[in-house]
Amino acid sequence: MWGGRFAAGPASIMREINASIPFDKRLWKQDIAGSKAHVAMLAKQGIVSQQDADAISAGLDTIAAEYEAHGVPVDLDLEDIHMVTESRLAELIGPAAGRLHTARSRNDQVATDFRLWVRDAIDEVEAGLLGLQRALVARAEDNADAVMPGFTHLQSAQPVTLGHHLMAYYEMVRRDRSRFADARARADECPLGAAALAGTGFPTDRHMTAAALGFAKPTDNSLDSVSDRDFALDYLMAATQASLHLSRLAEEFIIWASQPFGFVKLPDAYSTGSSIMPQKRNPDAAELVRGHAGRIMGCMTALCVTMKGLPLAYSKDMQDDKPPVFEAHDLLGLSIAAMTGMIETVTFRTDRMRGLAESGFATATDLADWLVREGGIPFREAHHITGRAVAAAEAAAVPLDQLPLETLKDIDARIDDRIYAVLTVDASVASRQSHGGTAPAQVRARIADAKKELGS
């Protein structure tokens, strides 16, 4: 490829460091699609003959079939997927293969291929996240009124329902999907035809190639076209946020599966045993999802650091743009699949959840709210009165709703027997009727809206 300019070939170490075919072979479908769109445009514009264009297109189809059947051959001398394909095309159809690269460069070629790949990757993630949302909604509907402790600082705070808790993750995934949709929209411009950096003097039709490849439009600046990797960074940033949400859900499953909590029993399919302790049921799938989040975040950081100091237009550093995106995509796909499977098959021990909700003075705020509402007491005073009631219940080792009325009246004479109507966990959750609250009626209303959003 360099024979006209360089008298000697590259050193062996240069050959290895320069080659990207070991990883960019994943772009072969996108590369062939881009080349077919490009040569069709060249023929329409009269830049190459229709005969040569037909031979090139048929040769590319043959190569695609070979790659599909046998994989892409790794030849470090040919550097990348673009030259591997062009070399094979020359073997198949002869010198006409050399016309394919008219009016384009590997710079705009790889930018186009990579955008196509990222666009396809986003579609895969979108499908996976949609499946996760459906699993969350289904299990939330089954448990819309199942009482559990709600936590702050991992301390029992107020009663909520399991359905409400699961729907919190639905909302996180909804935002994740919106971020990927935004990333896809921004990536929907075609760099093909920008050539090396300055455009081309041939009478090309960039709108034709953009349309053929399913892009909304061609990019508007040739320098930006070949030097931009925002689309890859957008993907990685959306993937990082999604992986953080998956990691939080995984962490809760890990905690809930521990014996002190006992809120869930993870299925055998997503657990492992111990090589020495036969009683163990380890939440390894959830732990790996939690670990993958760190690796995905690392991929995002790696590409940010690569891109932060590059002048326009293309630099060889940008060859390292693909490995972190490929790695993050693979890890994210595994994480989504694992968490969806766990959500669908986990056994929720709602009896255990209710028992702990009832034992942690979680209705203390309901007592304070009742004093404000029924007694006209300022909230700060009601807070102090409630604190004394909690201390009394703790000393007697009973829940708040089992404190004798005499004890409560000794704390504050304004308390009467109506208080017991608000001190049960069921009464507590049922009272949270504000929009987005944990009341089962509110949870079911949000689930109904979510089903409409999901088209189910």
DSSP class per residue in 232-291: HHHHHHHHHHHHHHHHHHHHHHHHHHSTTT--EE--GGG-B--SS-TT--B-HHHHHHHH
Planar angle of CA 286, 181, 217, nearest 5 degrees: 145
Q: Which secondary-structure segment (H or E) carries 51?
A: helix 50-70
Alpha-carbon distance values, 326 to 122, 237, 283, 337 (Å): 12, 14, 26, 17
The answer to whether the CB of 143 falls within 8 A of the CB of 453 is no
On whether the CB atoms of residues 183 and 191 are closer than 8 A, the answer is no
At residue 65's C-alpha, the angle toward residues 59 and 71, to 5°, is: 115
N- to C-terminal Cα distance for the chain? 55
In the block, residue with structure tokens 């001398």? 77
- Per annotation, catalytic residue among 49, 178, 258, 274: 274
Strands 217-218 and 189-190 come out as parallel
Q: Does the N-terminal peptide bond of residue 187 adopt cis geometry, omega within 30 degrees of 0? A: no
In the three-class reduction of DSSP (H, G, I as helix; E, B as strand; rest coil), residue 45 is classed as coil
Catalytic residue among 70, 153, 434, 435: 153
- Looking at beta carbons, which pairs linking 150-153 to residues 24 or more positions away fall under 8 Å? 150/362, 150/438
274 annotated active-site: yes
Q: Which residues are catalytic?
A: 153, 274
